[in-house]
Structure 1
Amino acid sequence: MPIKKIPSDHVEIGMYVSSLDRPWVETPFMFQGFVINNQDDIDELRRHSRHVYVIVPDEEIELTRRRDSDQPEPLTETDVLHQTSYTDKTNVDDEIKKIQNSHQVFSEVFTEVESLIRSGGTLPFELFKQPAENLVQSVTKTPDAYIWLTRLKKFDSFLYKDSLTSAVWATALGRKLGIVEEELQNLAIGCMLMDIGKLSLPTELLHKSERLTNEEWEKMKSHVDLGLKHIQDNTSYPSGVLDIVRTHHERLDGCGYPDGLKGAHIPLFGQIAGIIDQYVAVTSPRPYAQAISPSKAEEMLYNQRGRLFDEMLVEYFIQTLSTYPTGSLVELSSGEVGIVKAQKSGQNLRPDIILLLDPDKQPYGNFALINLDNYSHNDTPVRIVKTLADGEYGIDVEELSF
């Protein structure tokens, strides 16, 4: 059935809302797609979105074009972009072996972070400086190694997993944008810390599976100010780190929070962090929502470019992710299922893959690494058909061991 864009004021009981004009994770709606059952649902939608997308039978999709007056202001602070260029300097497997110890340090860092926050203490900048420097040095050589290890690592909390994943993807995007290493370290630390205020919120709120009440939603949004309280009095933190924590939920059209900033009033690092935060949130399993596939997440970001997120930054991030991001689950034309191990320069459609399931979706006894350039099944060349969301076919990536 086609999708139609309508103003929130036109929503009626019985309609099925398939998407909003802003990320689901920035609203109290815990499920991506739901039926309007009562007036309370309508009132809640009107409070949080200007337009919604509904599934309607036998109608054409409404196409809209942004008016020139609606164009967001261009990016500022572009002087930090394109200051250098990076090339892959090491073999992925060699880099994975080299960084395993430094990668493990993040578990200790996050344990100390939680202890300090629970005791009401502040977070010293020095706690993150060396781990972030190690991360940046590795990602600038080859992003795949850190992405791979982070993808497979099992953390006690999805908040910690998200923090490190966000830092890695932000650094990879910054690498693509030509940001120098010192600034990449600030970008990584800021993304590690952007949701740290959630550790001060009740656990039951973070794990609630139903829609948040207005009071609960306001409390959830308070994580921005709570996070700032733990770091803003420490003069060691660079302004870029503070910008990320303060503005990663601001959006180009002013629909974000806490200050409703628009366009170029949102710092560059805050805009980068917002893109990363959304991608990680929707592609990671949550207590209250299933993950979506990387390709659907990329499509979501692409459709939101120029309205919620800067167009140039979105396009660079999609290039950074590649067609089949490292660590993503993929289904092959043979029916087999695998996980992307590493990208190959100039061959985005044919990354290296570790096979997990056979054509009947049964686990392989041994995990074979294949090269799609010369891999065939029943004498037929094999290609990737689609990316999969975490959990599809019962695959728990964190439980894999290679």
Structure 2
Amino acid sequence: MFVSSLDRPWLESPFPVQGFPVKSTRDRDELGEFCNSVYVDVRRSRIASIPKHILSQSEPVDPASNSAQIYALTRRRRPTPYPKATSRKEEMRRAKTHCQAMESVYLTLQHDARNNRGVNLPELKSAIEPMVRSVVRNPDAYIWLTHLKSMDKYDYHHALSCAVLAVAFGRHLGLPMAQLNALATGCFLFDIGKAKLPGKLLNNTRRLTRDEFERVKQHVNFSLDILGQTRGIDNQIRAMIQTHHERYNGGGYPAGLSGDQIPLFGRIAGMVDAYDAITSQRPYCQPIPAYTAIDLLYQWRGIDFQSELVEQFIQVVGIYPVGSLVELSNGTVGVVICQNEHLRLHPQVMILLDSKKQLLEEFYEIDLRNGLDDQDPHTLSITRGLPPGAYKLDPRLYYF
């Protein structure tokens, strides 16, 4: 049988969020260690494994129902508190320099954590603040750079991606600069306690046992211990780190908080942490396409994450987030490189393959807004999103 849902949040279990088939008694027993009940997707199960009386009662689920509602969200218009002040290409040059500095700072943070030292807060601020200013000027540059991540530096790339996404989200909400800096700092530090866990445990390629999973959860306390040795950490940042694994329905950890018991920054951190994790290559799990992750977030609204925050986040990243591979209505294939605010279904795309799916000698960019106002029937649009690695494409190899 194919397990499609659990009686608790996927992200608080060692199982892949996209679901999985139960192939052995060991799989069943592992489920029993974490769950009292699970949901089975009849359509994705081997028919012989489903009792006939259940099979006859099963009703197909409309896969487009979530998508239609998500599309509607992207068309909502709201005032832009921070208009884009620079072009993507201009901001990219600055962001590349900032990224290198931030990686060096993060490696120092990890080294200090392993040696029971606190955070060098002035050094961290000197790296965080230029990144925040860059995202405020134009978030597309940094969001693109964070997409070019590698598994061998997952801890750093995850911290940076979460910080960038949180700032882009805070920018969308119109938060003041001081709070944007706090959001970035909290995201950069919320997993620093993992530096005190064995690498063998964190890089395990199999499902974790209950005991191993409980041990991984201790990283929250380790992070707080490190902050306890650091002067000048804002209480808002401390609370954010303490609560980024709490869930809106009370199913998270370490305290089982729910709803408004979780501070706003903790709710934001939990959401961007989950989104980046499931779209990243990890030792034990393949990434899922960003557009699928958006659909999952929408399904989890009001359960794992506050509904209003999920809906606003979708407006920030769009249906096809920066870095997504997409196929256009003329058959060409490209990668999303820039969002158009208020027109998230019509981003800017760099074309990599022609309509016959052959690699182009020279790539070119196209803005899918063009022709919309004139209602030109030949206006290009995205027909579908593609999974990472489709047609053996790796955007990291083609951009710079």
Identity value in percent = 42
Match of 2:355 among 353, 359, 362: 359
Match of 1:396 among 387, 394, 397: 394
Distance 1:194 1:351, change over 3 A: same
Give, as a single letter, the amino acid of the residue that structure 1 aligns with 2:394: D
1:232 aligns with 2:228: yes
Match of 1:185 among 181, 189, 193: 181
1:109 aligns with 2:109: no
Q: Is the 8 A contact 1:139 1:145 kept in 2?
A: yes
1:45 aligns with 2:43: no
- Structure 2 unpaired stretches of 5+: 43-54, 62-77, 372-376
Match of 2:383 in 1: 385
Give, as a single letter, the amino acid of the residue that structure 2 aligns with 1:391: G
Counterpart secondary structure, 1:331: strand
Distance 1:159 1:209, change over 3 A: same
CA displacement at 1:205 relative to structure 2: 1.6
**TM-score, length-scaled by structure 2:** 0.84
The superposition leaves residues 296-330 of structure 1 with CA deviations (integer Å, 9 ceiling, x where unpaired) of 11111111111211111111111111122122221
Give, as a single letter, the amino acid of the residue that structure 1 aligns with 2:256: G
CA displacement at 1:226 relative to structure 2: 1.5
Q: What is the count of residue pairs matched by the alignment?
A: 367
5 Å-filtered alignment, 1:250-399, equals 250-373=246-369, 381-399=379-397
Give, as a single letter, the amino acid of the residue that structure 2 aligns with 1:200: K
Higher mean displacement: 272-281 or 298-307: 298-307
Cα distance in structure 2, aligned partners of 1:46 and 1:250: 22
CA displacement at 1:199 relative to structure 2: 2.0
Match of 1:6 in 2: none
Cα distance in structure 1, aligned partners of 2:358 and 2:194: 39
CA displacement at 1:234 relative to structure 2: 1.5
The superposition leaves residues 130-166 of structure 1 with CA deviations (integer Å, 9 ceiling, x where unpaired) of 2221111111122112112222355741111111010
- Structure 1 unpaired stretches of 5+: 1-14, 64-81
Q: Is the 8 A contact 2:82 2:136 kept in 1?
A: yes
Q: Is the 8 A contact 2:151 2:283 kept in 1?
A: no
Distance 1:289 1:360, change over 3 A: farther
Match of 1:133 in 2: 129
**TM-score, length-scaled by structure 1:** 0.84
Match of 1:5 in 2: none
Match of 2:14 among 24, 28, 50: 28
CA displacement at 1:31 relative to structure 2: 6.7
Q: Is the 8 A contact 2:34 2:210 kept in 1?
A: no
Q: Is the 8 A contact 1:170 1:187 kept in 2?
A: yes
CA displacement at 1:333 relative to structure 2: 2.7
Distance 1:29 1:181, change over 3 A: same
CA displacement at 1:235 relative to structure 2: 2.8
CA displacement at 1:89 relative to structure 2: 1.8
CA RMSD in angstroms, aligned pairs only: 2.6
Distance 1:105 1:387, change over 3 A: same
Distance 1:280 1:23, change over 3 A: farther
Q: Is the 8 A contact 2:325 2:387 kept in 1?
A: yes
Higher mean displacement: 24-33 or 233-242: 24-33
Q: Is the 8 A contact 1:390 1:397 kept in 2?
A: no
